Amino acid sequence: MKSLAELQAIRDKMKNSMNVRDDNGNKIRVVVGMATCGIAAGARPVLNGFTEEVAKRNLDNVTVTQTGCIGICQYEPVVEVYTPDGEKTTYVKMTAEKVAKVVTDHLVNGKVVSEYTIGSVAK
């Protein structure tokens, strides 16, 4: 049986490497829709993908959260990205594969991945 002893070691390692979180309001918020239709369409791997990718790249200014029904079932899984400039981008029909590109292009380099947005898919 795997026990919590291992978690103690992880804690000690984290304590030594924790950098102070910047809470300067320059936060990017990633919101994943977790209603029934979202989950059925694949929101779980999308959510876990964002959490993992953001952690891997140490993006301290990004928080990943969830919400319920966004009201556009046919486009699920839906992910909304809120940037500090007040812009909101709605990504639709997301997949775990698309997550990496959104993280690199949008969250890191500030360039919206327009081909995944609702505007281009709805055309």
Partner 1 sequence: MQELSLNILDVAQNSIKAKATLITIKIHKNTMSKTLLISIEDNGCGMSQQQAEQVVDPFYTTRTTRKVGLGVPFFKMSAELTGGTFTIQSELKVGTKISALYYYEHIDMMPVGDMASTMLSLISVNPDIDFIYYFSVDENEFCMNTQEMKTVLEGLPVNSNEVLTFIKNFINENQAEIENSK
Residues lying near ligand FES in the complex (CB under 6 A): 35, 37, 69-73, 76
* Chain centre to alpha carbon of residue 99: 8
Nearer to ligand FES, 59 or 69 (CB): 69
65 sits near partner 1 (criterion: CB under 8 A): yes
Partner from partner 1, ligand FES, none contacting 62, C-beta within 5 to 8 A by type? none
Tokens of 70: 């966004």
6 sits near partner 1 (criterion: CB under 8 A): yes
Which residue in the set 15, 23, 86, 123 belongs to the binding site for partner 1 (CB under 8 A)? Answer: 15
Q: Which of residues 75-104 bind partner 1 (CB under 8 A)?
A: none
How buried is residue 21: exposed, middle or buried, by Cβ count under 10 Å (0-12/13-18/19+)? exposed
Partner from ligand FES, partner 1, none contacting 123, C-beta within 5 to 8 A by type? none
- In the chain, at which residue ranges do the beta strands (DSSP E only) sit? 28-33, 62-67, 79-82, 88-91
Tokens of 56: 């891997």
- Distance between CA atoms of 23 and 30, rounded to whole angstroms? 16
Contact characters 30-59, partner 1, x per CB under 8 A: --x-xxxx-xx---xx-xx--xx--xx---
